C-alpha cells in the first residue's frame, strides 16, 4: 500500500520541466501520482506515476456523474475548486493508498519520507493547508467531508455549480470557514497546518520564499538571494553560509507558480541541479564547499518584476473600467 496517491487533472501541454517533475516523483517510491490528462505525448513515466487518459469533457462528465450536479467549468483554474472532491470522485482508483491528495504540476519534490513522519501519517486526517499539495487520510468519512454543511449552508454545491473560482481547496477563498481546511477543523478532524514547502513569491526574478502561517493568516517572506538552491539526490535543499559554516535545509517540494523555467533534458543525467529564479542549471562543482560557495552563481538579472507590476496595473485599470472581470 502506498502512503499517498496524489491526483492531478491536467489538460494540454505539460510544463517544459515535466521530465524533472517525474524524476522527483520516482525518488519517492512510497508515494504515487495519478495524472488525469488528454496529453498522450511520450514521457519516461516511472512505476509510481499512473496516467488516466480522458478528454476534458470526459473529466467533467466523471465529476457530474459522481457528484450528481451540473458542473460549470469555463477555465482550467476552476478545476482547483474540485480538488477536495477527488477522494470521492476517484475512490476506486485510490483504494490502495493510506492517504490520497492533490498537488500541482509546477513542482519539484524533495524527500517526502524525510519530512512526512510516521506520527503525521498515524495521527492526522489532513496534512498541509496550501492547495499546491494537500493530503487526506483515505477513509469513507473523510472522502465525503467536503459535502458537510457549515452553519447550515451547503457550501460545496454553491462552489461547484458556479463558474466563479472560490479557491475551495485552500484558505484563501470566499471567506473564513468556507474552504476544505476549515471544514475539517469544524468537524473536529485532526489537521496539520505547517508549511514545509519552498514556495516562490511570484513577482521577484530571484528566489524569494513565502512561508504561510495558517494560525496567524499571514505570510513570512524569506530571501534566498545569497543561498544555493538545489535538487540533489532526490532532495530539495537550500544551502546557506553564515559565520564560516554551511548549513542545509530540506523542503518537501519547490513551487514555481506562474514562472517560466529554463530546462534542458541533459540535466536528467545528473543528480545535482542548481535552481535559479529563471531555470534549472548544472551545478558548477560536484559539491558545495566553503571554498567554492561564493563562486557559485546564485542570482539572475531580469525585468520580470517590472513586467509583472505593469501587468497588475493594467489588469486593475481594465477591471475598473469594466473591460475585465
> Same structural domain for residues 39 and 184?
yes
Domain that holds residue 182: 2-192
- Residue 324 scores a pLDDT above 80: no
pLDDT for 199-249, tens place per residue? 999 999 999 999 999 888 889 999 999 999 999 999 999 999 999 999 999
- Residue 112 scores a pLDDT above 70: yes
pLDDT for 117-140, tens place per residue? 999 999 999 999 999 999 999 999
Average pLDDT over residues 163-174: 86
CA distance 294 to 288: 10
Sign of the torsion angle spanned by Cα atoms 179, 185, 190, 191? positive
> Same structural domain for residues 109 and 247?
no
> Same structural domain for residues 39 and 174?
yes
Which secondary structure element, helix H or strand E, spans residue 212, and what is its range? strand 208-213
Q: Is residue 325 part of a domain?
A: no
- The reported pLDDT for the residue numbered 211 is 96
Q: Is residue 314 part of a domain?
A: no
Indicate the pLDDT class of residue 304, thresholds 50, 70 and 90: confident
pLDDT more than 90, % of the chain: 84
Q: How many CA atoms lie within 13 A of 126 on its CB side?
A: 29
Residue the block writes with cell 532526490: 234
Average pLDDT over residues 8-14: 98
Q: Is residue 321 part of a domain?
A: no
- The reported pLDDT for the residue numbered 314 is 81
Enter the pTM of the model: 0.94
Sign of the torsion angle spanned by Cα atoms 99, 105, 111, 114? negative
- Residue 104 scores a pLDDT above 80: yes
Cβ-based burial of 302 (10 A; exposed 0-12, middle 13-18, buried ≥19): middle
- The reported pLDDT for the residue numbered 177 is 60
How far is residue 273 from each of residues 226, 231, 263, measured CA to CA in Å?
17, 5, 10
- Residue 176 scores a pLDDT above 60: no
Average pLDDT over residues 166-195: 88
Indicate the pLDDT class of residue 174, thresholds 50, 70 and 90: low
> Same structural domain for residues 231 and 180?
no
> Same structural domain for residues 66 and 116?
yes
> Same structural domain for residues 188 and 201?
no
CB within 8 A of 189, min separation 6: which ones? 125, 126, 142, 145
- Residue 198 scores a pLDDT above 60: yes
CB-CB contact of 98 with 121 (8 Å): yes
Mean pLDDT of the chain: 95
CB within 8 A of 279, min separation 6: which ones? 261, 262, 263
pLDDT more than 70, % of the chain: 98
- The reported pLDDT for the residue numbered 139 is 98
DSSP state of 281: E
pLDDT for 240-276, tens place per residue? 999 999 999 999 999 999 999 999 999 999 989 999 9
> Same structural domain for residues 48 and 179?
yes
> Same structural domain for residues 172 and 225?
no
- The reported pLDDT for the residue numbered 173 is 62
pLDDT for 43-89, tens place per residue? 999 999 999 999 999 999 999 999 999 998 988 899 999 999 999 99
CB-CB contact of 200 with 207 (8 Å): yes
Say which CATH number the domain at 91 has: 3.90.550
Indicate the pLDDT class of residue 175, thresholds 50, 70 and 90: low
Greatest distance between any 2 Cα atoms in the chain: 63
Query: Number of structural domains, the chain?
Result: 2
> Same structural domain for residues 42 and 184?
yes
> Same structural domain for residues 225 and 266?
yes
Q: Is residue 304 part of a domain?
A: no
Q: How many CB atoms lie within 10 A of CB 49?
A: 19
Strand partners, 236: 231, 251
Amino acid at each position: 500500500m502506498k502512503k499517498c496517491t496524489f491526483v492531478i487533472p491536467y489538460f494540454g501541454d505539460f510544463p517544459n520541466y515535466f521530465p524533472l517533475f517525474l524524476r522527483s516523483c520516482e525518488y519517492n517510491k512510497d508515494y504515487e501520482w495519478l495524472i488525469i490528462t488528454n496529453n498522450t505525448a511520450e514521457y519516461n513515466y516511472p512505476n509510481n506515476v499512473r496516467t488516466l487518459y480522458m478528454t476534458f469533457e470526459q473529466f467533467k462528465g466523471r465529476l457530474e456523474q459522481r457528484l450528481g450536479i451540473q458542473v460549470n467549468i469555463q477555465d482550467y483554474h476552476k478545476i482547483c475548486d474540485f480538488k477536495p472532491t477527488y477522494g470521492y470522485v476517484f475512490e476506486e482508483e485510490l483504494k490502495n493508498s493510506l492517504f490520497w491528495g492533490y498537488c500541482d504540476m509546477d513542482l519539484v519534490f524533495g524527500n517526502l519520507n524525510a519530512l512526512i513522519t510516521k506520527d503525521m501519517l498515524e495521527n492526522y486526517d489532513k496534512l498541509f493547508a496550501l492547495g499546491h499539495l494537500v493530503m487526506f487520510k483515505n477513509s469513507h468519512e473523510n472522502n465525503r467531508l467536503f459535502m458537510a454543511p457549515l452553519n447550515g449552508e451547503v457550501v460545496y454545491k454553491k462552489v461547484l455549480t458556479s463558474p466563479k473560482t472560490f479557491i475551495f481547496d485552500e484558505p484563501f477563498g470566499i471567506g473564513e470557514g468556507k474552504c476544505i481546511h476549515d471544514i475539517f477543523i469544524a468537524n473536529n478532524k485532526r489537521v496539520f497546518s505547517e508549511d514545509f514547502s519552498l514556495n516562490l513569491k511570484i513577482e521577484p526574478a530571484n528566489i524569494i520564499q513565502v512561508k504561510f502561517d495558517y494560525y496567524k493568516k499571514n505570510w513570512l517572506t524569506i530571501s534566498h538571494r545569497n543561498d544555493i538552491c538545489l535538487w540533489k539526490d532526490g532532495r530539495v535543499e537550500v544551502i546557506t553560509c553564515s559565520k564560516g559554516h554551511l548549513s542545509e535545509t530540506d523542503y518537501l517540494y519547490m513551487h514555481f507558480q506562474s514562472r517560466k523555467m529554463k530546462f534542458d533534458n541533459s540535466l536528467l543525467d545528473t543528480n545535482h541541479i542548481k535552481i535559479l529564479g529563471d531555470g534549472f542549471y548544472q551545478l558548477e562543482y560536484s559539491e558545495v564547499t566553503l571554498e567554492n560557495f561564493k563562486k557559485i552563481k546564485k542570482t539572475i538579472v531580469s525585468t520580470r518584476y517590472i513586467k509583472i507590476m505593469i501587468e497588475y496595473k493594467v489588469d486593475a485599470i481594465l477591471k475598473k473600467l469594466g473591460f475585465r472581470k
